[in-house]
Amino acid sequence: MVGVIVLAAYRPSRELFTRQLASIRDQTVTDWECIISVDGELETVEEVVAEVAAGDERFRIVADGRRLGFYLNFERGLAAVPAETEWVALSDQDDFWYPDKLEKLLPYLSDSAIVSGQARLVSHPGDEVLGFTDRRQLDAASTMIVNQFTGSLCLFRRDLLTTALPFPRLSSHTVAHDHWLAVVGMAQGGGRIVDEVVQDYVQHSANVFGDPSRLRLGPIATLRRAWGNAVTFAVRYEGAATPSAMTRMLFWIYVGWRQLMAQTLLERDPRAARAIELDRLFGSGRRLPVTLGMLRTVRRARAVPTPFVIAYVASWAAGWLIRGRRRTPTVAR
């Protein structure tokens, strides 16, 4: 077995899940195992796998009945990847891979730890073409600020999991498995963005995030959204929407999450030069002028809109108010 595809499933649409499994089954690269990590109930997943992949031993379901959420469901799937695996691909349950996706991306892992292609954005229902992703080739520090490696588009070397697992824990909706894996990959071998459209990225009302390149809000709307998220997550994770709770959430959504990733990476790979540098830039020793410089860099690269910069600086201010440099959540080991 050369590679593993980890697909996270949660109450999938039968139509979209059937199509996605068939697109994985029909890849021109055939030497892989597909681990389907199921969040919660199994019935639909088992039925579709039986229909699409009957007798195909490359498909394996992993489930224990617990509802973990997408972040920890991907962690569960990745924890099941055998040690002898050479590469790992991530898959959502409702996209559509082009037949040669793996064939096109795998060669780039010879000189990069993680690689991503581009995708066509397609609505569902309706199959309207909305556009294309515009992932950018950035350095490690810029990737920490704005992730360019969407999980469903990327492949990475299996040895990244030695550092990446278990995922860092944070009580905020902002945690993202692909952002963390991209940070680890950029620190341990670098990454590559390939301008090849390798799949359809299906946009619908049940997307956890959707494609972030489509989110272009004005400054006021962005701050309202950031504060609204802080209110929602403060109630969910702090138990109340008090000013102090909302300020903590605003910090962890942007600056705090990156602080946690930097500190986790350094704890697990303390001698790596890039891990040391990322901790200097994003850990407890970070400095505002340096951060503002990095924000200007990603803005000039058109990797983020101006409102994102405003929200990030607001998160920095929130961290200053709560002394966020001194507050590090427990890092899972």
| 214 to 35, 217, 303: CA distances (angstroms) | 30, 9, 12
In one-letter notation, the amino acid at residue 250 is L
pLDDT at 242: 86
Q: Say how far apart CA 262 and CA 276 lie, in whole Å.
A: 8
Dump pLDDT digits (tens) for 286-320: 999 999 999 999 999 999 988 889 889 999 999 99
Is 2.60.120.10 the CATH number for 3-203? Answer: no
Token digits of residue 205: 């009302």
Dump pLDDT digits (tens) for 128-184: 888 999 999 999 999 999 999 999 999 999 999 999 999 999 877 789 999 999 999
Query: What whole-number percentage of the chain has pLDDT above 70?
Result: 90
Instruction: Give me the helices (H) in the chain, please.
Output: 14-25, 43-52, 70-79, 101-105, 140-145, 161-164, 177-187, 219-233, 243-251, 257-268, 273-282, 288-300, 306-322
pLDDT at 204: 63
Other CB atoms within a 10 A radius of the CB of residue 159 amount to: 16
Q: Say how far apart CA 200 and CA 133 lie, in whole Å.
A: 10
Other CB atoms within a 10 A radius of the CB of residue 202 amount to: 25
Backbone angles phi, psi at 57, to 5 degrees: -75, 0
Dump pLDDT digits (tens) for 190-205: 999 999 999 999 986 5
Assess whether pLDDT exceeds 60 at residue 13: yes
30-63: b or e for each residue (b if 16 or more CB lie within 10 Å)? eebbbbbbbbeeeebbeebbeebbeeeebbeebb
pLDDT at 333: 41
Q: What angle do CA 321, 326, 332 make, to 5 degrees?
A: 125
Assess whether pLDDT exceeds 70 at residue 215: no
Would you say 304 and 146 are in contact if contact means Cβ atoms under 8 Å apart? yes
Q: For CATH 3.90.550.10, list the domain ranges present in the chain.
A: 3-203
Assess whether pLDDT exceeds 60 at residue 113: yes
Token digits of residue 294: 């990095």
